[in-house]
Amino acid sequence: MIENPPQLDALVIAPHPDDAELGMGGAIVKMLSEGLKVGVLDLTSGEPTPFGSPEIRREETAAATQALDLTWRYNAGLPNRSLEPTLAARELIAGIFRLTRPRWLFAPYWEDAHPDHIAATALVEAARFWSKLSKTEMPGDPYHPERIYYYYCVHLKLTPQPDFILDISDQWETKLKSIEAYQSQFVVGRSAEPPTFVDRLRDEAAYWGKAIGCRYGEPFASREPIALRSLRELF
């Protein structure tokens, strides 16, 4: 099990290494710049892929982690391409919640084409509940993360209707650097003709930025109502 994990403010759970960066790299950088402790929990290795290998993906993940300057990152070692929200996986992930005690969880959006992503959402929701149980064999003390928010890293031509959009104009370049660390996923073997994968990402971020009157934005969803401490948070 994990040795001396830090206590986190936010934990982003990703089915594969790169989903956290794609879906909410900007929000991660913003939270860190505000002094919050942010971790990423990758559920699987993400491999095999056409141009990757376990070693390459590990190196790329380390480079992305460095670009974001994450507080903590861990790979749960669950099976890629056959991720399932099993009882054993639920206990494992709930144990990690109990040890790292994040206030907020960020999970993949619930509607997707990739079965691993759908399984990840179900797993996070079940583990959040499981984490608060007493009289169990799980490590740490019972703990219930206050909120789950959902980021969009979706293999489906969705037109999202997000519940909020975060201004990530100042974080965009760092987010891009973390994504470009995954050369085997987003550069190698892809067409260099515009629009490239990165062009599309920028267009998307600009679209969400336009929706809230800034340069770049990142959309999020929530099943539960979103609480505000002050209307000054609105703009």
Residue 88 beta carbon to Zn ion: minimum distance, rounded to whole angstroms:
21
Six-digit token pair at 235?
A: 């703009």
Residue number, 19 or 125, with CB nearest to Zn ion: 19
Residue 46 beta carbon to Zn ion: minimum distance, rounded to whole angstroms:
7
Stretch that binds Zn ion, among 9-17, 23-31, 176-184, 227-235 (CB under 5 A): 9-17
**Buried/exposed code over 72-101 (b: 16+ C-beta within 10 A; e: otherwise):** bbebbebebeebebeeebbbbbbbbbbbbb
Whole-angstrom CA distances from 88 to 26, 91, 93, 155, 231 are 32, 5, 9, 26, 42
x-or-dash string of contact with Zn ion, 195-234, rule CB under 5 A? ----------------------------------------
Q: Which of 9, 11, 15, 149 binds Zn ion (CB under 5 A)?
A: 15
Q: Which of 5, 8, 9, 16 binds Zn ion (CB under 5 A)?
A: 16
Residue 11 beta carbon to Zn ion: minimum distance, rounded to whole angstroms:
17
Of all residues in the shown chain, the one whose CB is closest to Zn ion is 16
Residue number, 57 or 90, with CB nearest to Zn ion: 57
Distance between CA atoms of residues 24 and 150, nearest Å: 10
Residue 167 beta carbon to Zn ion: minimum distance, rounded to whole angstroms:
25
CB-side exposure of 56: number of CA atoms within 13 Å? 14
The answer for 169, left when phi > 0, alpha when psi is -120 to 50, beta otherwise, is: alpha
Distance between CA atoms of residues 156 and 108, nearest Å: 13
Residue number, 19 or 167, with CB nearest to Zn ion: 19
Rule CB under 5 A: say whether 98 interacts with Zn ion: no
Distance between CA atoms of residues 14 and 112, nearest Å: 14
Rule CB under 5 A: say whether 19 interacts with Zn ion: yes
Distance between CA atoms of residues 218 and 167, nearest Å: 7
Residue number, 19 or 21, with CB nearest to Zn ion: 19
- Residues at the interface with Zn ion (CB under 5 A): 15-16, 19
